[in-house]
Amino acid sequence: MKAIQVTEVGGPERMQLAEVPMPKPGPGQAVVKVAASGINYIDVYYRTGLYKAELPVILGMEAAGIVEATGADVTEVSVGDKVAYAMDRGSYAEYAVVPAWHLAKVPDGLDLELAAAVMLQGMTAHYLTHSTFPLKQGDTALIHAAAGGAGLMTVQMAKMRGARVIGTCSTEAKASIAKNAGADDVILYTEQDFEAEVRHLTNGRGVDVVYDSVGKETFLKSLSCLRPRGMMVSFGNASGAVPAVEPLLLSQKGSLFLTRPTLASYTAAREELIWRAGDVLNWTAQKKLAVHIHQVYTLEEAPRAHQELEARKTSGKLLLKP
């Protein structure tokens, strides 16, 4: 089968279309014929080596497709089921092997491309807004990179929970996409001082929570945007990894809470995974959650897709079709 493989970490050119053996399902595993694979920033980290994987590696952590084969002891799915998953590597390929308990069934009537588009970023937004800092009516959230894939999902779910949303992004075009998704205010953090703007927009109080996926460039200022005892949720590193932090800083900024979560810890049991995946897939099928597809690329176009993602030229979701 065809797959996008990396044998040496580095730039987008390291991603090569390779002919590799078809995966076989072991006990508890299923092979999925990939209809669409989601592209996520985490794929960039594995490609550059910021996150470590054994090489050669097939990139891609998210897909939707049809169960092609199952191994021994699989009870969750059957051959022919329409399924979707996230956080198992190897989806930039025609087939992928996945632990069967990670697979969620795709509701009838939901297109497989849309299902692939919402699993990773949708479940991330779900845990951020429902579990890490469970938003409620009256809360104000600052969401960085609000027009990105995870950003647009988080904006929408924060609004579903009744919060006020202040988003940030780099261009006017992205600002209108974030506003269409429900953001109450949008700050162009490339032109404006977002700390001063947040203080102004909250009458000096600060926000209850910051969902920060940008990392290095926004981390410290984000701490200054929080109200006393607010929560800093540092969940990504699009601009680089955040350096070490002194706990005393959290005290000086007003007894803040800091967490650095990952989706894997919030989908570690099947029950929790199915709760999040079920909500995200059903809301998408019911059109309660809008999906902004930036572009669908072929496998061969994966290097260009990564270039565009890293150059901040995209908004919403990028998909690969094998």
The one-letter amino acid at 313:
K
Taking the least distance from each CB to ligand NDP, the nearer of 67 and 158 is 158
Assess 124 for contact with ligand NDP (CB under 6 A).
yes
**Nearest one of 102, 143, 101, 152 to 122, comparing CA atoms:** 152
Q: Give the pairing type, strands 257-259 and 226-234.
A: parallel
**Nearest one of 228, 179, 183, 229 to 205, comparing CA atoms:** 228
- Written as one string, the DSSP assignment of 68-118 is EEE-TT--S--TT-EEEEES-S--SBSEEEEEGGG-EEPPTT--HHHHHHH
Taking the least distance from each CB to ligand NDP, the nearer of 58 and 145 is 145
* Rounded distance between C-alpha atoms, residue 150 and residue 202, angstroms: 24
- Residue 203 beta carbon to ligand NDP: minimum distance, rounded to whole angstroms: 26
Kindly state the number of chain residues that form the binding site for ligand NDP, as judged by CB under 6 A. Answer: 30
Interface segment toward ligand NDP; rule CB under 6 A; list 23-31, 130-138, 285-293, 310-318: 310-318
The single residue among 90, 151, 230, 303 that binds ligand NDP, judged by CB under 6 A, is 151
Interface segment toward ligand NDP; rule CB under 6 A; list 135-143, 156-164, 169-177, 280-288: 169-177
Taking the least distance from each CB to ligand NDP, the nearer of 163 and 169 is 169
Assess 156 for contact with ligand NDP (CB under 6 A).
no
Assess 41 for contact with ligand NDP (CB under 6 A).
yes
Assess 42 for contact with ligand NDP (CB under 6 A).
yes
Q: How many Å separate Cα 232 from the centre of its chain?
A: 18
Q: Half-sphere exposure of 273 toward its Cβ, with a 13 Å CA cutoff?
A: 21
Assess 214 for contact with ligand NDP (CB under 6 A).
yes
Assess 82 for contact with ligand NDP (CB under 6 A).
no
Assess 272 for contact with ligand NDP (CB under 6 A).
no
The single residue among 25, 60, 148, 303 that binds ligand NDP, judged by CB under 6 A, is 148
- Residue 200 beta carbon to ligand NDP: minimum distance, rounded to whole angstroms: 20
Assess 225 for contact with ligand NDP (CB under 6 A).
no
Q: Half-sphere exposure of 11 toward its Cβ, with a 13 Å CA cutoff?
A: 5
**Nearest one of 99, 121, 94 to 38, comparing CA atoms:** 121
Number of other CB atoms surrounding residue 184 within 10 Å: 16
Assess 213 for contact with ligand NDP (CB under 6 A).
yes
The single residue among 37, 70, 121, 267 that binds ligand NDP, judged by CB under 6 A, is 121
Q: What is the enclosing helix (H) or strand (E) of 275?
A: helix 270-285
3-state helix, strand, coil in the chain (%, to 5): 35, 25, 40
**Which two tokens mark 93?**
């390929």
Assess 174 for contact with ligand NDP (CB under 6 A).
yes
The single residue among 106, 150, 281, 319 that binds ligand NDP, judged by CB under 6 A, is 150
Binding string, residues 251-270; x marks residues near ligand NDP by CB under 6 A: ----------xxx-------
Assess 238 for contact with ligand NDP (CB under 6 A).
yes
Cβ atoms 39, 56 nearer than 8 A: no
**Residues at the contact surface with ligand NDP, assessed by CB under 6 A:** 40-42, 120-121, 124, 145, 147-151, 169-170, 174, 213-214, 217, 235-239, 261-263, 309-310, 312, 314
